[in-house]
Amino acid sequence: MQMLANYILVDPERWTEAKQGSIIVPAGEQREKFARGTVMEVGSGLFLPNGDRPPIEVKVGDRVLYFKDGAAEVILDERTMHIVQERQILAILSANEFVLATDEGDSDAAS
């Protein structure tokens, strides 16, 4: 699947339990606001009014934190993937940088 314009295909990951040294996303309603995943495909970007097309800031293989609201869910090869616009991506993550604070040790999925 080839993404167009500023659309990005993301393979969502499961949230992990809090570990020392991680930035923690609170549990509860935050579970519905954010997701994280690996970028699988990137569009070519949007044209500006002057005709320029700046590159999209993420690349295939980046792990990202993004707003889950507004992500379109699609099934590809029996896997649930998210299609998001570039502006929905909040950060490029390093390994296990963001984790979800858990309720009673229960970890939750990004989907």
What number of H helices and E strands is found in the chain?
1, 8
Cα separation of 82 and 49, whole Å?
A: 28
What is the per-residue pLDDT across 70-109, written as a single tens digit (0 to 9) for each? 899 999 999 999 999 999 999 998 866 656 555 444 444 4
Strands (E), the chain: 7-12, 23-25, 34-42, 63-67, 72-76, 79-85, 89-93, 98-100
CATH architecture of 7-100: Roll (2.30)
**What's the whole-model pTM score?**
0.77
What is the per-residue pLDDT across 13-46, written as a single tens digit (0 to 9) for each? 876 655 555 666 666 666 678 888 999 999 999 9
How is the chain split into domains, by residue range?
Answer: 7-100
Q: Give the distance, in angstroms, between the CA of residue 100 and the centroid of all CA atoms in the same chain.
A: 14
